[in-house]
Amino acid sequence: MTKPSGTILDGAKRRGRRPEAQDGPSTPFLPFTRPTIDEETIQGVAEVLRSGWLASGPNVKKLEAALSEYFGGRPVRTQMHATASLEHALLVAGIGPGHEVITPAMSFVATANVIVRVGARPVFVDVGLDSRNIDFDRVEAAITPRTRAIMPVHFAGLPVDMERLYAIAGRHRLRVIEDAAQAIGSCWRGRRIGSFGDLVCFSFHPNKNLTTIEGGCIVGGSPQELSQLELHRFHGQSKLAADEVDTLFAAGKANLSDVAARVGLGQLASLERFNARRRELAARYFSLWGHDAPVRLPARGDEGHNWHMFAPLLPLERLRISRLQFIEQMAERGIGVGVHYASAIHLFTAYRALGYREGQFPNAERIGRETVTLPLFPAMELSDVDRVVEATTDVLKGAAK
């Protein structure tokens, strides 16, 4: 799951101004997410710009080394975006035409698109209604002689059951490409996602817990796979000497810039603090809504959840308004609401063309209809959560049938 979709209604709101139609004293508009970039990082970017080395260079090497240390010494290779990370991981794992990859029906569409792009077929499995993660009770039934890999998604940063995942993969000799786009800093039973496992892909999009503006990385891989990853991110070219190169295969281009890497270095230094704040904010949502929430709350997880986003479900069957009208009414109250994600993947035209149809994955379809993303980012105050809870409760109470 890479670049997120979301809903913010106009440019004025994106710039942080309260809608002019709102009466009363001016209150800053609260978006559903916003990156935190400190002044030291901004100064560091200025230094990179002055250096004259803007493409992949010393800062990319520093970021890969720092990420490797963060993940317990495992190898790391960066890409321009996590979509490339996922696609390259599939390619170096040998996934291609005639193969199948099992993946959840609820994610950002890039999760499935990369499978199609390498010539394989995505085989969708439904998800848990509250966890939004792939339902392992249904995974083994989806395995066929053509299955070569499982691509789970750690939705909103909530880790999947890693024991079950790798037990299934081991029994059936399958590769695992983890879509950990939203999971940097999340832990499974005390171990960081990415510090173990097969090939693990992270996103550094501006909405993620750590951003490089745009970017991604792959953690793990054999020495041969690491060499292949380096080729895939720069035209398949191998430098033989200062004046001689060879192109080993027709690859694309997805190398991270030094400007982006310098942002990432500043972000990585603050990641644990950012995630701790996200956990505090999520805990505030649960505390205020308790056991009588007007929405269906997401699975809470444990202290290992990085809380990339807070995405409850609206009780639309009990409301006189649509999801769009809820978003509009929240915007009138100065609060931005996102949608992650507005449809189960199998319902898109591109995947209906593969034979998928409505009704196959009911949990994913319900999530697509009812989900909203409420504000959650490190710069928020606990009082901002109070404001969101009060506004949400007020809107839904007024819209009840």
Hey, which residues are catalytic here?
A: 208
Q: How far apart are CA 350 and CA 122, in angstroms?
A: 12
Backbone dihedral region for residue 319 (phi beyond 0: left; psi -120 to 50: alpha; all else: beta) = beta
Long-range contacts from 221-226, C-beta under 8 angstroms, 24+ separation:
221/75, 221/77, 221/92, 225/92, 225/93, 225/199, 226/75, 226/77
Cβ distance 128 to 100 under 8 Å? no
Nearest to 314 by CA among 323, 302, 325, 327: 323
Tokens of 248: 């080993």
Nearest to 176 by CA among 112, 100, 93, 110: 93
